[in-house]
Structure 1
Amino acid sequence: MYPTAYSIFFIIGFPANCLSLYVACVLVKKGNSLAVYLINLCVGDLLYILTLPVWIAIALGQAVGGGLCSAIAVVMFNSFYVGSGFLCCISMDRYLAIVFPLHFVRVREVRTAVMVSAIVWLVEILVHLSVLAYTDAIGNFSAHRLCKEPMIMDKAPANMAITRAVLGFLIPVLIMSFCFMEIIRALNKSTSTVVSERRKICFLLLFLLFTYLVAFTPFQVVMFIRGLLEPGHCSVAHHLRGFYMVFVATTTINSVLDPIIYCLISESAKNEMKNLFKCCGKQLSKIYSSVVKA
């Protein structure tokens, strides 16, 4: 399934994230703090999406060097948790903007968003390096193919799988759920927001949370179970291997849909996309006219 699924994800995800990255860069110049987090989210997603051709090559049985193989595995897992961190940042930004619109103004400045983003990247990279060191993978990075996981987890990778599931998935889900529920509650109490607009925002927020859960819950649940039961038990590894291989692929859904949903949530982002499409339409019309005349 990997070549087909990853090809579809790449064809959709790469232009979608590039478009979101362009829109976010335009909005940052206009002082939009949310766009800073969206830029970092798009960068993390793009790094992961750019590894998909290598995963396709591996799935097709083509030879891939050990260093490259290990590097794309590190990028993939790093993107998982960097993405979760920036999703939490975006959720908190929307929470403060809607629930406390007259407070925390400085927290929602571009400068603050840049500083928070740098901290998220730094923490994630340091944590990931610690994980590689703990599992003895960093010492022989080039020689050891990290993308080729052993059939049965050892104790150290099992402990890290449990830790990642809790810190990198469960806590972000709780933060996002809290922020979105409070946003929806504040919107329902608001008398200034039109009912149709209120419903639209609530739907998009719930759809965003739903997308994240669909993309990551199966993978994280399987990893958590593997961490608890797999070390030393071949039967558990045998039964869970197929589920694990499928759910690794489904995590890509989040990288494809995230930028699209967040651009739909932000009115300013939608306006910038409309302007871009109008500009592209005018240019295409000019090119078509010149071709016809020729």
Structure 2
Amino acid sequence: METFSEDPMGNNTLNCTIDHSIHQILSPVVYILVFVVGLPANCLSLYYAYLQVKAKNELGIYLCNLTVADLLYIFSLPFWLQYVLQHDNWTYDELLCKICGILLYENIYISVGFLCCISIDRYLAVVYPFRFHQFRTMKAALLVSCIIWTKEILTSCLVFTHGEVSKDAESHMVCFEHYPIKTWEHNVNFYRFTAGFLFPFSLLLFSYYGILRVVRKSYGTQKKKKIQIKRLVSSTIIIFLVCFGPYHVLLLMRSIFENSCEFAAKIFNIYHICLLLTTFNCVADPILYCFSSENTYQDFAKIRDTCLKYIRGVETEDKGTYPMNTPEISSPFVVTWTTEPVRT
């Protein structure tokens, strides 16, 4: 590798010595776990999202895009795994470093975008069941999906025009790591925090507050179903906060306070732990949005039972599957509740 980038202010990575040992200890475990669990889970998620599209359900469009974003990032994990196992030494060319970095950020912000689309769609369906049908069609979902992908791709092209491979104090070629952060990164990080996290999270809270308010006042909804809906909505917000919240808080802190190697070294470990939390979004999405549906759960249970029979090599008694005491279609993201007219 011959190219490396320098900060125009003279603060380049070569002059900043930071202990990267957390990458060799924690990162490989997370990357392997997410790859092994996330790849088959998202493949199943993509299949069930396709069934939603086939049934002319606009939510299937959002679920498909969400899953594709997760899969693209999962396919980049072997490169990141090799990178951290080689003590943060990027042995490929800079173009591949940019591609892997773009897939990392695309996974975060495209996931956030489609989570907001799903929450707004459900809000309109539950709170205004007889209005705004023009915003809840297949064509509208395709248009919104194209806008989200185009926006994030253009943003990445504008942001990642700088050199993303730089040399550290040990002469390793590091990918997407600048310590302290460069001047141009400050404004980008402020944009990521406000437009990429704070605003979408506000939309998420607004949408689900409206959903819970309507469900709470609905006398036609059974108590157990109300509890299930509340749990699923709460789980969505918790996953959003856990996967994306810590990273964006640390990103904001770096942009405000990081102007020396000393601060960068102090915050390095916690920042990268928070960055690893965003990776678990690839596992959380299919579990929450697909396997929470009773029909999908029963199909998954059948696949599990078939695999167990094959492994044991004997025919076992069919014990059937057990309902989860969920709403009519238990996930609030693939639901048609009683407040919404039946769609054909």
**1:25 corresponds to which of 36, 39, 50:** 50
Q: CA deviation at 1:210?
A: 0.4
Give the SS at the match of 2:290. Answer: helix
Counting only pairs closer than 5 Å after superposition, residues 152-171 of structure 1 correspond to structure 2 as 152-171=180-199
1:107 aligned to 2:135? yes
Gaps of 5+ in 2: 1-25, 167-172, 316-344
Q: CA deviation at 1:234?
A: 2.4
1:240 aligned to 2:267? yes
Distance 1:102 1:169, change over 3 A: same
How far does the alpha carbon of each residue in 1:80-123 deviate from its partner, in whole angstroms, 9 at most, with x for none? 11111001000001111111112122211112111111111111
Distance 1:283 1:262, change over 3 A: closer
Asked if the contact 2:190–2:255 (Cα under 8 Å) also holds between the matched residues in 1, the reply is yes
- Distance of 1:35 and 1:163 partners within structure 2: 29
How far does the alpha carbon of each residue in 1:47-84 deviate from its partner, in whole angstroms, 9 at most, with x for none? 11111111111111075302322211111012111111
Distance 1:102 1:246, change over 3 A: same
Asked if the contact 2:110–2:149 (Cα under 8 Å) also holds between the matched residues in 1, the reply is yes
- Distance of 1:194 and 1:166 partners within structure 2: 39
Q: CA deviation at 1:236?
A: 1.7
How far does the alpha carbon of each residue in 1:231-272 deviate from its partner, in whole angstroms, 9 at most, with x for none? x3222212111211211111112221012111245x4xx424
Over aligned residues, Cα RMSD in angstroms?
2.5
1:87 aligned to 2:115? yes
Q: TM-score, normalization: structure 2? A: 0.75
| Number of the residue aligned with 2:104 | 76
1:274 aligned to 2:298? yes
Q: CA deviation at 1:14?
A: 1.2
How far does the alpha carbon of each residue in 1:111-147 deviate from its partner, in whole angstroms, 9 at most, with x for none? 21111111111111112212224xx348x9xxxx773
Aligned amino acid, residue 274 of structure 1:
Q
Q: Which moved more, 1:250-259 or 1:78-87?
A: 250-259
Counting only pairs closer than 5 Å after superposition, residues 159-198 of structure 1 correspond to structure 2 as 159-198=187-226
Structure (1 or 2) with the larger CA radius of gyration: 2
Distance 1:283 1:58, change over 3 A: closer
**1:44 corresponds to which of 62, 66, 69:** 69
Aligned amino acid, residue 210 of structure 1:
I
Q: CA deviation at 1:227?
A: 0.8
1:130 aligned to 2:130? no
Aligned amino acid, residue 158 of structure 1:
H
Asked if the contact 1:137–1:146 (Cα under 8 Å) also holds between the matched residues in 2, the reply is no
Distance 1:211 1:152, change over 3 A: same
Give the SS at the match of 1:251. Answer: helix
Give the SS at the match of 2:221. Answer: coil
Gaps of 5+ in 1: none
| Number of the residue aligned with 1:214 | 242
**1:260 corresponds to which of 287, 290, 296:** 287
Asked if the contact 1:69–1:146 (Cα under 8 Å) also holds between the matched residues in 2, the reply is no
| Number of the residue aligned with 1:34 | 59
1:226 aligned to 2:254? yes
- Distance of 1:281 and 1:8 partners within structure 2: 23
Distance 1:29 1:57, change over 3 A: same
Aligned amino acid, residue 47 of structure 1:
L
Aligned amino acid, residue 40 of structure 2:
P
Give the SS at the match of 1:51. Answer: helix
Give the SS at the match of 1:111. Answer: helix
Identity of aligned residues (%): 35
How many equivalent pairs are there? 280
- Distance of 2:231 and 2:182 partners within structure 1: 42
Asked if the contact 2:290–2:296 (Cα under 8 Å) also holds between the matched residues in 1, the reply is no
